[in-house]
Amino acid sequence: MSKKIFSGVQPTGNLHIGNYLGAIKNFVSFQNQALTECIYCVVDLHAITVKQDPATLKNNIRETTAAFLASGLDYKKSIIFQQSLSSAHSECSWILGCSAKMGWLNRMTQFKEKAGKDKEKASIGLYVYPVLMASDILLYDTTHVPVGEDQKQHLELTRDIAQKFNLDFNSPNFFKIPEPMIQKNFSRIMSLKDGKKKMSKSDPSDFSRINLNDSKDQISNKIKKAKTDTLPLPDSEKELENRPEAKNLLGIYSSLKGQELSATINEFSGKNFSDFKIKLSDLAVEKINPISAEMNKLKKDTKFIDKILIEGSHKAQEISSKKLKQIKKIVGF
């Protein structure tokens, strides 16, 4: 059975190792699977749900695209495009929003987290962006969506919206009901300063994350200063239950090396963190530094990046415009 995979990354700048290990690295893997069609989107419409500087946003769109390409995504194998260049996403979002229920959106935990205490000042866009996410996915007859645990709720909403639309308009099977592809191990890379907090580009401390454009010295220094505990490295996964920083660093090593956590624990069992950090630093530099170098090279060629996005958007629009035309006909437009 063939798969059609859709996923998107917000162009908010400062892409880090959490974005790479939690999403982009997997995108490359999916792209190389047989009978799999991949569509990857720079979701700039989602980015403007919070205030953006226009010049910075433009730069971040290009930087995110450069990160895709530098990490191994091939624009000849996958569709790579800029969301705002396809008007079908916004049109479809309005139509689906007229089927979605307020109660469904009220349950979205990410809105509560991002809006903070003063929800009255949050934008309407931030509140309804899960409907736009549903539009992104459903326009392409997506069969599978790679999601972390923190995004699973949004995909469940997408499935609810699709099923309700199909039912409301007596159009069974019109929208495909996408399945989640949940990466159970280390889809959430945590902060280097606090193993209980997700690694985030918005964290004021640059030492909380390894950025994809960090130099060798920066990567090594951040790992050296990463928070740990005083115990030696554990003999089993069970011993990591109350050791979030140890679990995070071992998880990063496992993900970079492409091996199970148990194999990493066996490799470093009983050793101290100073020895382990040297190995982790060497591995991180080996994997991340080539991406950083290629990103910096690509970012200088803005015409090439823009060309990739425009060509990809034309391919995406061929698919999305046909689906939107069908949606409008069903609705009665």
Active site residue 198: yes
**Upper half-sphere CA count for residue 318 (Cβ side, 13 Å):** 7
Active-site pick, 3, 176, 197, 201: 201
**Beta partners for 182?**
147
143: Cβ contacts below 8 Å, ≥ 6 apart: 2, 3, 4, 5, 176, 178, 179
Q: Are 216 and 224 in contact (CB under 8 A)?
A: no
Closest CA to 38 of 3, 80, 72, 5: 5
Tokens of 200: 């985030």
DSSP state of 136: H
Secondary element (H or E) of residue 211: none
For strands 3-9 and 179-182, give the pairing: unpaired
Query: Is 329 known to be catalytic?
Result: no
Query: What does each C-alpha distance from 9 to 43, 67, 146 come to in angstroms?
Result: 6, 11, 12
Q: Cβ(230)–Cβ(295) under 8 Å?
A: no
Does residue 114 carry a catalytic annotation?
yes
Choose, from 164, 193, 197, 198, the residue flagged as catalytic.
198
Catalytic choice (3, 58, 114, 197)? 114
Helix (H) or strand (E) holding 181: strand 179-182
Read off the tokens for 38: 């991949």
Active-site positions read: 114, 198, 201
